Amino acid sequence: MTRDALLACLARGEVIAGLTLTGMDLSQADLSGAVFERVTFTKATLRQAVLRRATFEHCDLRGADCTGAELTEAVLEGSQLSGATLSQVKAKRVVLRKADLTACQLAGADLTEADLTEARMERADCAGAVLAKAELAGALVKGINFERADLTKANLSGADLHGCRFERTNLHKADLSQASLEGLHLKGCLMALTRCAGVKAKRVVIEPGTVLTQASFIDADLEGARLEGVTGWAAVFMGATLAGATLAQSRLSQANFTGCDCATTDFTQAELTQTRWKGADCREAKFVRADLTYADLSHVNCGKTDFSHAVLDRTNLHRIQDGGAIWTGANRAAARETDPALQQAEDWTH
């Protein structure tokens, strides 16, 4: 079928089914609202084509060039797009559920509110793409390049992000809960209010300057992680594992470390004012020159913890376990020690 014949069929409102249109040039064609079923478009050219609200049901677009195409609210559920070029496409609210986007070029694409549920996206290039509010639940996303991508409020919960590149990526309010970030390197990202509850992030590196303001890491596994110099006002680490992690020179005022495993964690020169630590395990941790002003360390296990030269103005040390702790140069006299009346009341209730 020729291009003109195809466009004539579409003008009559016909459904295009079962055809092979390999290599066809449909550049700048207006295919708005068209319906294609099981059509083969391999290596076809659809550059700057208008495909608004078009339907591609189980179609084959492998290797197709769709650069700059208009795909707003188009439906490509279950279609094959591996190796296709969709750079700079305008595809708000596009449906790509269960589609194959393996090694697809999506640089600069606008996929705002896209439905990518259970899509295959391994090794796709999403540099500079907009995926705000995109749904990626169950999607296969290993090895994706998310450099400079906008993932604001995107759902990546439970995703295996092994091999992904996050550099200057906007993850503001994104949902990464239960995702796997083990060994990843996040550089210059915005993670304010990001949901990271239960993430598996052993040995993750989050570079200095990354914003973690009010991010949630509840029950996260951050063993051996490196978070030096991050900014995380009111971040929540309740129940998280931070054993062996490094948070030196981080700014974490009002963060919540209640019930955390912080054994051997390094908080050297960290700003930890008004932080909460009740019930945390901080054995052999380092708080050297850290600012713990008004911090609540009540009931914390601080065995062999190093508080050398720490600032302890009005720090709550009620019933800490500090056997073998180092207090050299710290102003412990300015801290609040165990309250006998409160201790008596606690013992009575137990």
Contact 181, 200 (CB under 8 A): yes
Q: How far apart are CA 58 and CA 120, in angstroms?
A: 14
Average pLDDT score over residue span 165-194: 96
User: What mean pLDDT value characterizes the chain?
Assistant: 96
Q: Residue 105: what pLDDT?
A: 98
Question: Tokens representing 16?
Answer: 């295009």
pLDDT in tens, 287-315: 999 999 999 999 999 999 999 999 999 99
Q: How far apart are CA 39 and CA 17, in angstroms?
A: 6
Q: Is the pLDDT of residue 349 over 70?
A: no
Which residue stretches of the chain are H helix?
3-11, 340-349
On the CB side of 282, CA atoms within 13 Å amount to 31
Q: How confident is the model at residue 350 (pLDDT cuts 50, 70, 90)?
A: low
- The CATH architecture annotation of domain 22-175 reads 3 Solenoid (2.160)
Q: How confident is the model at residue 123 (pLDDT cuts 50, 70, 90)?
A: very high
Q: Residue 58: what pLDDT?
A: 93
pLDDT in tens, 21-63: 999 999 999 999 999 999 999 999 999 999 999 999 999 999 9
Q: How confident is the model at residue 347 (pLDDT cuts 50, 70, 90)?
A: confident
Contact 220, 243 (CB under 8 A): no
Q: How far apart are CA 320 and CA 133, in angstroms?
A: 44
Which of 2.160.20.80, 3.50.50.60, 3.30.830.10, 3.40.50.620 would CATH assign to domain 185-350? 2.160.20.80
Q: Is the pLDDT of residue 340 over 90?
A: no
In the numeric block, the tokens 């092979």 are attached to 20
pLDDT in tens, 63-118: 999 999 999 999 999 999 999 999 999 999 999 999 999 999 999 999 999 999 99
Which long-range contacts does 190-195 make (Cβ < 8 Å, 24+ apart)? 191/215, 195/157
Q: Where in the chain is the domain with CATH 2.160.20.80?
A: 185-350
